Structure 1
Amino acid sequence: AADIKVIDRCNLTILSEPGHEDLAEFLAAEQVAVSASLPCYSRDNVDIQRGDGVFERSIAGLRKLNALGYGQPGSNLELNLVYNPQGPSLPPPQQALENDYKAHLKEDFGIVFNHLHTITNQPIARFGSTLVSRGQFEGYMQLLRDNFSADNLAGVMCRGTVSVDWRGYLYDCDFNQMLDLPMPVLASDRPHLRELLEQPLNQHPIATRDHCFACTAGQGSSCGGTLN
């Protein structure tokens, strides 16, 4: 449908992987918004966190997207970057960090983008395992609970966004997809995109667990960054 916005959660390094060289062109042709993780605008910080060479390949991916019109003034091809805190803390103010990213990436690499989205780390998957191994899991969960704000509930991503995996199965959000927690709708144990075309999702229940506190803590967190 014309009024549906499709967002690709893009790992920038995939754009240079063999067999995926035409992915950026495909996304541009289909008018897909790109949301790409870049934990810092510094080579050293990114490579320490993600591995040697990741920053250089990420910059190459961003340049490829820019060349196709992504993030350019006046273009309808949307390019947003995503920042997550390095440790068990809430994200810093989004606008100030976005200004820093834009200044450094433009000056150092000639890269432009639309917005920076700061997203609270979810206590799941690799980050959750790291917290457990360091004895920080309970402390981080308490931080999220202590900073819960009911004002964020109206804007969380699960209320207006559907996450679709590569097979077409549906989830309330990306994090539920990571946990293999299907959307509890359509009278199906594992609802699929093809079923969604025949049934609206208004008023459907949302699968929630303790990790959802990450989206409601502090400034709030969604696929569009902070909520307040």
Structure 2
Amino acid sequence: MIINNTFKSRSQLDRKFAQRIAKQLTTAISDKGYASIAFSGGSTPKGLFNELSNKNIDWSNVTITLVDDRWVDTASKDSNDRLLRENLLQNYAAKATFFSLKQAENLSEQYLANITEQASRFTPLDVVILGMGEDGHTASIFPCSAQVHQGLDELADPALIKVVPTTAPYERVTFNYAAIIQASHLYLHVVGQSKQDVISQALADDDATAMPIRAFLQNKDKTCNIFWAE
């Protein structure tokens, strides 16, 4: 189930989106004493990161993490970890707790079990912001990967899993569908006409293994707010 939020410009989207997220984090803190949020990487959210980092909320009670990350050094230009540290964990948001998905050298089963256990301390997440590739992948649940069924398994325990895409570089670590869908507030943040075309394609069929974003857009019990601007 989706709700479309369309904006005339990316700057307007970033401003309005940051206002909504800040309000939802503040409400969560008021209700339970803390809040948690997971972001996607890429260039699309940079403006949002800047807007949100300047929101004067109680960041000391917010845990920020990533929906997924490439298994690269955190100093790499391809690291989502670095992207967040340089663009979001600034200004007021510097007071937040950052939960990195890259805390070791080896992406082993034991590491995944350990980091999943650590994440259970702040999950279910209050807010999740997904991105989407031209192939319909979201998080690091790729249709080309051998792990696509594992990543989309509705009956699986919420977890962080390893994915090895065949059409994109690097091994990945990602929250699975079961973890993401539990979020109190779920968003898809995309810009440009090409992403609208992908959304239309995703809504035209229901095979989530071919386009994993379908699992989130077509879930009957969860509302996914799409924030889009040209």
- The TM-score normalised by the length of structure 1 is 0.35
Structure having the larger proportion of residues in helix: 1
Structure index of larger Rg:
1
| TM-score (normalizing by structure 2) | 0.34
* Larger strand percent: 2
Q: Which has the higher contact order (CA 8 A, sep 6+)?
A: 2
